Amino acid sequence: MSTLLFSLRGVPEDEADEIRILLDKHSIDYYETCAGNWGISMPALWLRNKLELATAQNLLNEYHQQRAITQREIYKQLKKDKKILGEKPFKRFIYLAIIIFILYLYIKMLFEFGL
């Protein structure tokens, strides 16, 4: 009987690919289900053999610990390079000013026309 190993809902594609490669590398027999046309089914990785569950979970735990470390380093590097907030703060300020101006006009007309 099949056993759920890992749900893929909300998982980045690069992480899902790395997990597939990891399972293939260790010759763990699995299959994948997709979310379907409307996205209501469960995208997941399933093990065909329940006896491989402990091995696969250990591999996934090690993988996720390593991924957390690498992603944290990537975040620190981006933060150091100040790319988290973007490279064009002036452009964001202009967009914000336009949005505020449009809201101001909308509210002003709302009170003037009494709608």
| pLDDT mean for each 10 residues of the chain (115 residues) | 92 95 96 91 94 96 97 88 69 92 93 77
E strand intervals along the chain: 3-7, 30-33, 44-47
d(CA 48, CA 4): 9
Place of tokens 């590398």: 25
d(CA 32, CA 13): 13
pLDDT value for 89: 76
> Please, which residues have CB within 8 angstroms of residue 42's CB and are 6 or more apart in sequence?
7, 9, 33, 35
pLDDT value for 69: 97
